[in-house]
């Protein structure tokens, strides 16, 4: 297939790559014209149409408003597969399995902690392990690691990290039932062991934020977000080297078994869901999902500790929600009027269920699932609420943040870390980062317009704006 | 001869590694990959390790070879600074590679970025260069 992918506009925010050649279904892109201009600049459209070739795919290969080029699947790709005929693909999940976002709300306002901000950041940077080639402070035994992989955030709770409510307000209650560490390689376990309880680096971060605007007061109240200026904390990280190893192990195993010459893209390697290997990947993936849940549970706990030490209390610091954005799950959805169990792949996409779904916590079931779109440093993040409409048109999914529009090389040509820090400080955002270069690469100008992504998601009904959050302090590895 | 070039890529790390033969290209690919994370030229060749990998085809060999170094970073906090004596052999299962790598512990070296994983995206193996995209 050439680089020019034919697509047509179906409506203001819906675009289609029609089913042609060996595509089994069309590809559908949810974006505004402005976002589409960016999307068509890289290989996103080609990748979306490649996904449409995969066996057992249902309805369409979906692309979210913040999509950009990925490996095999585009980042911001959603695809559902029939359980009997369909496939499961490590490329459709991503290397950073259960990279996700956790949001805590507090009872403080920006004014309350303005003077203590640097102290908070310094202590967060000190207490929460981050960076590259550095392990965590948690000394785990192998059997403890196995328990983490089996039970995820439950292990963390059992070991004194956080509260029961935290788990209730986490996607999947903070653990996937289908995990089996024996499906994970020795090497994956070896990489995971020293990395539990670490933030990582790159685009992972911990951000102290304040509520900038509330769009839907009823839903915001239900989520615990009740006033402008309220302080929130957002944590963005995943399964670290453990997840990366699980992904590459299974890419290798699936290639060995099924070959890859028949695939439009080597990174679309997959196995039938029904097969031994497909089931084993699912079990290993669930183990990695659990690792990431435990990770975020620990980091959130340490965050509360730090706030307690610096401000004297962390009582009002409660979970809003924790969402995954690199995952494959078995979910029941409506297909042509019938309820069907499907394998949903969300790669750089977030589940966005509406009111009534049993998968969302009881406390939110009347309003819908909280969805967090993390922005980049220096720009906003959003809290959205899931919708019934999303269930109808995107397997209950929406964007995961603001995808990049410019390369790290471009960023480094145009920005220096020190400049970015100064610019952020001018916007009254304090930063504590492990790397100047990392700061420059992550500067907001290289990301898509998060406000546009949130607007499109709302107008389409994929996930509706509840609140806009802006950073007041950032911790990066 | 230049060892490698970093190329434009929206979200990730793309590079071309050069060399007079495949072995040299594979060796320079390691340094290219680590240049996203550390100032490799500041790393002293103090610690010596032997690294091996295998793959069914040349691309799988490159993927697995580069992944070995990401694992060494995670498990041994090791940054490579010099690769030598790289040897690629053909076997009945595909290819094997081994090489001597000299480097040092992360220690006080400040990281400047993070490579999450190797990928097959846009991978090219030509007689002039190998091209790789890594997940940042």
Asked whether residue A434 is assigned to any structural domain, the reply reads no
Taking contacts as CB-CB distances below 8 angstroms, the residues of chain A near B118 are: 248
Asked whether residue A1 is assigned to any structural domain, the reply reads no
Q: What is the ipTM of this complex?
A: 0.94
pLDDT at A1 over 50: no
| Most confident of the ranges A46-55, A108-117, A408-417 | A46-55
Task: Tell whether B44 is within 8 A of chain A (Cβ).
Answer: no
Average pLDDT for A154-159: 97
Residue of A402 and A220 predicted with greater confidence? A220
Question: Domain containing A288 — which CATH number?
Answer: 3.90.1860.10
> How many domains is chain A built from?
1
> Is there a contact between A245 and B71 if contact means CB atoms under 8 Å apart?
yes
* pLDDT given for residue A407 in this prediction: 64
Instruction: Nearest by CB to B113, from A202, A406, A410: name it.
Output: A202
Task: Tell whether A23 is within 8 A of chain B (Cβ).
Answer: no
The per-residue pLDDT for range A372-396, each reduced to its tens digit, is 999 876 689 999 999 999 999 999 9
b/e per residue, B58-79, with b = 16+ CB within 10 A? bbbbbbbbbbbbbbbbbbebbb
Task: Tell whether A436 is within 8 A of chain B (Cβ).
Answer: yes
Task: Tell whether B94 is within 8 A of chain A (Cβ).
Answer: no
**Per annotation, catalytic residue among A400, A414, A423, A444:** A400
Average pLDDT for A211-224: 98
Domains of chain B listed by start with CATH number: 4-135 (3.55.10.10)
Give every residue of chain B whose pLDDT is below 70, as ranges.
10-11
Q: Tell me how close the Cα of B24 comes to any Cα of chain A, in angstroms.
A: 24
Taking contacts as CB-CB distances below 8 angstroms, the residues of chain A near B120 are: 71, 266-267
Asked whether residue A322 is assigned to any structural domain, the reply reads yes
Q: Tell me how close the Cα of A476 comes to any Cα of chain B, in angstroms.
A: 11
DSSP state of B111: P
Asked whether residue A90 is assigned to any structural domain, the reply reads no
Give the residue ranges of DSSP H helices in A235-323.
240-258, 276-311
Percent of chain A with pLDDT over 90: 80
pLDDT at A443 over 70: no
pTM above 0.90, yes or no: yes
Asked whether residue A437 is assigned to any structural domain, the reply reads no
Asked whether residue A67 is assigned to any structural domain, the reply reads yes
**Is-catalytic flag, A400?**
yes
> Is there a contact between A133 and B106 if contact means CB atoms under 8 Å apart?
yes
For the CA atoms of chain A, what is the radius of gyration? 21
* pLDDT given for residue A2 in this prediction: 45
pLDDT at A409 over 70: no
pLDDT at A202 over 90: no
Asked whether residue A102 is assigned to any structural domain, the reply reads yes
Q: Cα-flanking dihedrals φ and ψ of residue A53, to 5°?
A: -80, -15
Residue of A426 and A453 predicted with greater confidence? A453
Q: Tell me how close the Cα of A420 comes to any Cα of chain B, in angstroms.
A: 15
Q: Tell me how close the Cα of B36 comes to any Cα of chain A, in angstroms.
A: 10
The bridge status of strand A464-476 relative to strand A430-433 is parallel
B-proximal residues of A, 36-95, CB under 8 Å: 42, 68-72, 75, 95
> Is there a contact between B11 and A407 if contact means CB atoms under 8 Å apart?
yes
The bridge status of strand B124-125 relative to strand B129-135 is antiparallel
* pLDDT given for residue B96 in this prediction: 98
CA B83 to chain centre: 9
Task: Tell whether A215 is within 8 A of chain B (Cβ).
Answer: no
> Is there a contact between A71 and B135 if contact means CB atoms under 8 Å apart?
yes
Host domain of residue A184 = 8-84+98-405+447-476
What are the residues facing B88 on neighbouring strands?
Answer: B97
pLDDT at A465 over 70: yes
pLDDT at A48 over 90: yes
Asked whether residue A206 is assigned to any structural domain, the reply reads yes
User: A445: pLDDT confidence band, cut at 50, 70 and 90?
Assistant: low
Mean of pLDDT over chain A: 92
CA A236 to chain centre: 8
Average pLDDT for A257-286: 96
For residues A346 and A78, the answer to whether their CB atoms sit within 8 Å is yes
C-alpha closest to that of A290 among A167, A169, A187, A401: A167
Average pLDDT for A330-356: 97
C-alpha closest to that of A391 among A446, A432, A449, A340: A340
pLDDT at A439 over 90: no
Task: Tell whether B77 is within 8 A of chain A (Cβ).
Answer: yes
Q: What is the largest CA-CA distance in chain B?
A: 44
Instruction: Nearest by CB to A95, from B10, B110, B135: name it.
Output: B135
CA atoms within 13 A on the CB side of A385: 24
């Amino acid at each position: 297939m050439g680089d020019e992918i034919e697509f047509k506009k179906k409506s203001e925010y819906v675009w289609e790559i029609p089913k042609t050649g060996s595509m089994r279904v069309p590809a559908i892109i949810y974006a505004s014209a402005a976002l589409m201009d960016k999307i068509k600049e890289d290989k996103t459209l080609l990748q979306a149409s490649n996904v449409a070739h995969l066996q057992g795919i249902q309805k369409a290969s979906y692309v979210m408003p913040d999509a950009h080029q990925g490996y095999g699947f585009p980042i911001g790709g959603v695809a559902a597969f029939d359980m009997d005929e369909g496939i499961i693909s490590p490329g459709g999940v991503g290397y950073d399995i259960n990279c996700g976002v956790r949001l805590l709300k507090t009872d403080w306002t920006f004014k309350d902690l303005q003077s203590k901000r640097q102290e908070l950041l310094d202590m967060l940077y000190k207490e929460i392990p981050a960076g590259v080639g550095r392990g965590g402070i948690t000394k785990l035994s192998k059997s403890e690691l196995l328990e983490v992989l089996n039970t995820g955030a439950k292990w963390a709770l059992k070991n004194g990290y956080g509260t029961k409510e935290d788990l209730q307000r986490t996607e999947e209650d903070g653990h996937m039932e289908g995990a089996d560490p024996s499906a994970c390689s020795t090497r994956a376990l070896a990489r995971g062991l020293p990395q539990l309880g670490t933030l990582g680096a790159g685009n992972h971060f911990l951000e102290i934020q304040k509520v900038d605007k509330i769009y839907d007061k009823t839903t915001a109240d239900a989520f615990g977000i009740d006033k402008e200026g309220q302080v929130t904390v957002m944590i963005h990280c995943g399964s670290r080297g453990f997840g990366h190893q699980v992904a590459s192990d299974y890419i290798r195993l699936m290639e060995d078994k099924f070959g890859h010459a028949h695939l439009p893209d080597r990174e679309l390697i997959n196995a039938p869901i029904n097969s031994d290997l497909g089931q084993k990947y699912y079990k290993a993936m669930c183990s990695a999902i659990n690792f990431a849940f435990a990770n975020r549970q620990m980091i959130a706990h340490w965050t509360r500790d730090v706030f307690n030490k610096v401000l004297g209390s962390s009582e009002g610091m409660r979970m809003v929600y924790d969402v995954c954005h690199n995952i494959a799950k078995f979910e029941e959805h409506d297909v042509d009027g019938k309820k069907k169990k499907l394998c949903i792949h969300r790669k750089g996409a977030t589940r966005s269920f509406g009111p009534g779904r049993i998968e969302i916590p009881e406390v939110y079931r009347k309003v819908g699932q909280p969805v967090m779109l993390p922005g980049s440093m220096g720009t906003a993040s959003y809290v959205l609420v899931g919708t019934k409409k999303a269930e109808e048109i995107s397997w209950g999914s929406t964007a995961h943040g603001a995808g990049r529009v410019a390369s790290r090389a471009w960023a480094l040509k145009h920005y220096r870390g020190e400049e970015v820090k100064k610019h952020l400080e001018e916007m009254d955002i304090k930063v504590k980062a492990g790397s100047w270069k990392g700061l420059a690469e992550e500067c907001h100008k290289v990301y898509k317009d998060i406000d546009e992504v949130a607007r499109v998601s709302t107008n389409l009904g994929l996930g509706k704006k509840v609140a806009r959050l802006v950073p007041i302090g950032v911790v990066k590895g | 001869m230049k060892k490698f070039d970093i190329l434009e890529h929206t979200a990730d790390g793309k590079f071309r590694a050069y060399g007079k033969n495949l072995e040299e290209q594979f060796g320079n690919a390691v340094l290219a990959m680590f240049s996203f994370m550390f100032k490799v030229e500041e790393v002293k060749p103090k610690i010596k390790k032997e690294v091996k990998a295998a793959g069914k085809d040349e691309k799988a060999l490159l993927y697995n070879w580069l992944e070995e170094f990401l694992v060494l970073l995670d498990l041994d906090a090791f940054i490579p600074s010099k690769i030598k004596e790289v040897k690629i052999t053909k076997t009945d299962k595909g290819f094997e590679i081994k090489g001597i790598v000299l480097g040092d512990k992360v220690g006080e070296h400040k990281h400047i970025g993070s490579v999450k994983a190797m990928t097959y995206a846009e991978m090219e193996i030509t007689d002039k260069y190998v091209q790789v995209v890594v997940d940042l």
